[in-house]
Chains A and B, each alone.
Chain A
Amino acid sequence: MSPGKRVSGVMSMKCTEVEKLLEAFVDGELPGGAMRETARHLARCASCEAMAIRLERVQETVRQAVLGEVEEPDAVASWNLIAPRLAASSSPPPWRERFGSLRERLRFRGLPAPVWIGSAAAIVAMLLWAGGGQPPGDRNQRFQLLARQARIDLLDASSNVRVWNQPDSGALVIWVDEQRPNLEPVAQ
């Protein structure tokens, strides 16, 4: 494949364009659309694919070498060292003082206490009213739709496996191995 040519009618990227993106592609740092377009090109262009494989091997070698040299940072230990210093250097004023300061500022702008307390109560009431409008049936329906994102036809495993749907996204989870999160299965 000569550089600058398109691979077939369906390809929208030239080899020269793909070459420029290969490093970021191998690192997984391109935006979703560019990742897919580059992958599509590589699936049909042997020379670009070979270049991507070479690059991937080099990066994998570097990655392994770096991992061998650098220890995994222990974030908990670092935080335990930093936290006491932060607490000593800047402790915020107590809530009573902060509330008093806010009250003084509002009073200065000519807003008496009953006005802003009444406004706050109205806002809270509106929020409660807006949030409480959804009947429980709708929520179940939404969950059922989410649960249909995937369907398992066959599952064979050598170790313990647990399957559930993520409550927030509805994505299907297949959890392998004995070290599994302590969660109740949501749906099947």
Chain B
Amino acid sequence: MSVSRTLYALMVTAVTLAGTPLRAGADGVALEVVSVLATNSGGVLDPRLRGQRPHLVGFPYSSYRLLRRDVRFVPWGRRARFNLPGPGELKVSPKNREGTGIALNLALRGQQRRRLVDTSLCLQDHRVLLVGGPRHRNGVLIIVVGAEAGGGQ
């Protein structure tokens, strides 16, 4: 009887341990950072930005060109650094889930790591946030930040 109980306990432990990597593997956020150059020279919407069109039409620029697109999977509590076109960088750290939202820390750095903005916010899962303004070449950068949670915390 005691042998079968021990065996049962071992089986339960084994199943629990086997399940742990599955949960841990899903605990994080897929972050997508799309860097767009907005200018007033010409009237072109980069075909690769068709999906971002509703987010861009409100800006007073005539031309939008995709410069860079990065996707990273970031575990909760860790920080990802995204290089932006030019000298800038964006640091994003997913903190935790808040209902259907994702709590994030976001830091934008400009030339020589100059601090432009630091913010804590809650972004709805599968939604985007736009950070714009840094000058680049003959226009400005608009950075589209999207987040998709892979698992709860």
**Residues of A that sit less than 8 Å from B by CB:** 8-11, 25, 28-29, 32, 35-36, 38-40, 42-44, 60, 72, 74-76, 79, 148-159, 161, 166-169, 171-177, 179-183
Contact = CB atoms under 8 A, between A and B. Distances in A.
B13 interface: no
B124 A174 contact: no
Given A150-B121, A166-B130, A35 B32 contact: yes
A154 B25 contact: no
B60 A149 contact: no
Main secondary structure of the interface of B (DSSP, over half): strand
B122 A153 contact: yes
Contacts of B60: 181-183
B130 A173 contact: yes
B25 A36 contact: no
B94 interface: no
Contacts, number: 160
Contacts of A182: 60
Nearest to B23: A10
B25 A35 contact: no
Contacts of B101: 150-151
A149 B123 contact: yes
Contacts of A39: 30, 71-73
Contact of B57 (A60, A156, A168): A168
A153 B120 contact: yes
B54 A169 contact: yes
Given A28-B69, A43-B75, 20 more contacts: A9-B18, A10-B26, A11-B25, A28-B71, A60-B83, A75-B42, A76-B42, A149-B127, A151-B101, A154-B120, A158-B115, A167-B58, A168-B57, A168-B58, A171-B54, A171-B127, A172-B123, A179-B133, A179-B135, A181-B59
A43 B72 contact: yes
9 smallest A-B Cβ distances: which pairs?
A: A28-B69, A75-B42, A10-B25, A169-B54, A176-B133, A177-B133, A43-B73, A35-B71, A154-B120
A156 B63 contact: no
Contact of A175 (B69, B127, B132): B132
A181 B103 CA distance: 28
A150 B126 CA distance: 11
Contact of B148 (A29, A36, A149, A156): A36
A181 B122 CA distance: 25
Interface string B46-60: 000000001101111
B28 A166 contact: no
Given A39-B73, A43-B73, A150 B21 contact: no
Contacts of A168: 54-55, 57-58
A28 B75 contact: no
Nearest to A150: B123
Contact of B118 (A25, A76, A149, A157): A157
B151 to A, nearest CB: 9
B7 interface: no
B21 A177 contact: no
A46 to B, nearest CB: 14
Contacts of A75: 41-42, 44, 63
A182 B60 CA distance: 7
